[in-house]
Amino acid sequence: MKLQIDGREVTVPKGTNLIEAGKKAGIFVPHFCYHPGLPVVGVCRICLCEIEGRPKLVAGCATPVEEGLKVITQSAKVREARKAVMEFLLIHHPLDCPQCDKGGECTLQDYTMLMGPSRSRFTFEKQTWPEEDVGGKLLLNKNRCILCLRCVNLCKFVAGEDEIAVLSRGEETYIGTVAGRKIQNEMAGNIADICPVGALTSKDFRFRSRPWELKPVASVCTLCSKGCNVTMGYHPRRNEVVRITARENMDVNEWWICDRGRGGFWGIHHPNRFTAPLRREGTAVSVTTWQAAMPAIVDALSGILAKHGAAAVGVVGSGELTNEECYLTRAIFRDGLGIANLDFPLRPQPPVIYPRFTIEGDKNPNTRGARAIGVAPGPGGLGLADMMRAAADGTIRALLFLRGGPLEQFGDPAVVAKALGNAALVVVIDNLPSPVSERAHWVLPGVSYAEREGTYTNSQGRVQRAAKVFTMRGDTREDWRILQDLGRSMGAWTHLDQAPEQIFRRLAADHPAFRGLDYTILGDRGAPLAAATADVAVG
């Protein structure tokens, strides 16, 4: 439909409202209660617009476009109306921006500066409520609430739970949890992103930083195979990721992420992280250096390969690794060194299914990528369970784990424990301790998903880029560098790639499922695997 907004002509599909039509025309229509991912409620009235020839102002969020409409968003009448709305919203609102956690990214603060009255005519005592822990990741400060209903509707329509409601009536109206129960749904953290004021804020992020101190970095969550698009809030001075928020991608997660992904930064900065290579001899564990560890590992592995052949080595890959790292895994161990015993563990859990969002049950972010690339047994090679049995009975003498984890992740825990106990060489690359790394002869400190660039193929077969957000202090190395170094030292990899993008180019050239893709095409929204081959390759 063709219409004019402030004299600018724009064409939008039937059913589009004036706010979205304005966006398309590059004209901003303010809004509090409207969110493109939630039902229109039309309660805040800040989006009032004028339509030529009509006596009354209309709510931009609740008014669909019509052919030939002439919309005015900047008349004196509109400005007066919006100013009045702002004055009403601020009647009970505390003027505590300097100490409010939302300060700097608060819509009410922005609009007050833009169009609100600079003084209040309200001389009576303001309503006050104490702050409240409402469960999940949220704290509620009712004093700041403008009753926009976004929180109510997010719980209701995205999570399918009536956990937050509008309570009481008239001037006493407030937002609260139903029957005082704590919020349980795992989507509720999104409210901290969409609450337009500092009423429902994140417990995790609270007072840890001002938003303007953060560098936002576009990346993806790797805590399940959904691959939600996220923004990492990186605090450069502290060299720390201090929050993770949702980043819109209509092909993957729309506007939302789950609370597990939102809390992912705690693992990134876990106090127990490995910061240097470790050597275990008997029960003694000592910190060592890369200069000592790598040649020793290469010697031991080469010795076993020379003496007992490739069948005496098992490589346990990982669906947590990037496509680039999976490519190196296959190229170095299977194609280069001829090790056919190659596999990786699946990490299934029951999915959590909400009406408008599913938290995937596959906890590997890259099962599809690993499969498409062929992190799988070569001809005559053993799968994971058989590999563990062969190591337990002494046929396999060296085990390389490209990520650790609980024993049961790799098979029968008793068999895995025996395998780890019997193998002459156990090497683990990981960033956090686990029952596997506790039994390894060598631990090489890899990095978390926020410290290395690369791509992951999510459960839909969409390849997406994850960013390197920061470099941790300590002697860690990106997993792709460790693999490349190991491959070069073993004579199984001749390249010296300086960035995952170079490795991705090789991957795209070698594996049909990735053909035609590159980092530019993937951009910050990703792209699907080549459709014709992806399903065949994934199996």
Bridge-based pairing state of the strands 278-281 and 58-59: unpaired
Residue 363 binding ligand FES, by CB under 6 A: no
CB of 109 to ligand FES, least distance (A): 17
Cα distances from 203 to residues 145, 207, 354, 442, in angstroms, run 17, 9, 23, 38
Rounded to 5 degrees, φ, ψ at 381 are -80, 165
Residue 197 binding ligand SF4, by CB under 6 A: yes
Residue 69 binding ligand SF4, by CB under 6 A: no
CB of 89 to ligand FES, least distance (A): 11
| Nearest to 466, CA basis, from 200, 261, 177, 186 | 261
Residue 61 binding ligand FES, by CB under 6 A: yes
Taking CB under 6 A as the criterion, the residue among 100, 134, 224, 483 binding ligand SF4 is 224
Taking CB under 6 A as the criterion, the residue among 49, 59, 339, 391 binding ligand FES is 59
Give alpha helix (H) positions in 309-346.
Answer: 323-329
Distance CA 512, CA 533 (A): 6
42 binds, among ligand FES, ligand SF4, none (CB under 5 to 8 A by kind): ligand FES
Distance CA 141, CA 206 (A): 12
**Interface map 251-270 toward ligand SF4 (x if CB under 6 A):** --x---xx-xx---------
Distance CA 324, CA 119 (A): 58
Residue 226 binding ligand SF4, by CB under 6 A: yes
Distance CA 81, CA 57 (A): 9
Taking CB under 6 A as the criterion, the residue among 18, 86, 175, 517 binding ligand SF4 is 175
DSSP reduced 3-state for 306: helix
| Nearest to 159, CA basis, from 142, 141, 183, 177 | 183
Residue 321 binding ligand SF4, by CB under 6 A: no
Taking CB under 6 A as the criterion, the residue among 31, 334, 371, 465 binding ligand FES is 31
> Count residues contacting ligand SF4 (CB under 6 A)?
27
Q: Which is nearer to ligand SF4, 73 or 177 (CB)?
A: 177
Residues 271-300 that bind ligand FES (CB under 6 A): none
Residue 151 binding ligand SF4, by CB under 6 A: yes
| Nearest to 154, CA basis, from 248, 17, 36 | 36
Q: Which is nearer to ligand FES, 199 or 419 (CB)?
A: 199
Residue 241 binding ligand FES, by CB under 6 A: no
Residue 32 binding ligand FES, by CB under 6 A: yes
DSSP reduced 3-state for 361: coil
Q: Which is nearer to ligand FES, 57 or 427 (CB)?
A: 57
Planar angle of CA 146, 258, 244, nearest 5 degrees: 80
- DSSP summary character for residue 241: E
| Nearest to 319, CA basis, from 269, 367, 285 | 367
Residues 131-150 that bind ligand SF4 (CB under 6 A): 145-150
Taking CB under 6 A as the criterion, the residue among 18, 27, 33, 382 binding ligand FES is 33
Q: Which is nearer to ligand FES, 33 or 71 (CB)?
A: 33
Distance CA 200, CA 208 (A): 16
Q: Kindly give the interhelix angle for 479-489 and 290-308, rounded to the nearest 10 degrees.
A: 50
Distance CA 470, CA 450 (A): 7
**Interface map 176-195 toward ligand SF4 (x if CB under 6 A):** ---------------x---x
Chain residues that interact with ligand FES, rule: CB under 6 A? 31-34, 42-47, 59-61
Chain residues that interact with ligand SF4, rule: CB under 6 A? 145-151, 175, 191, 195-197, 199-200, 221, 223-224, 226-228, 253, 257-258, 260-261, 359-360
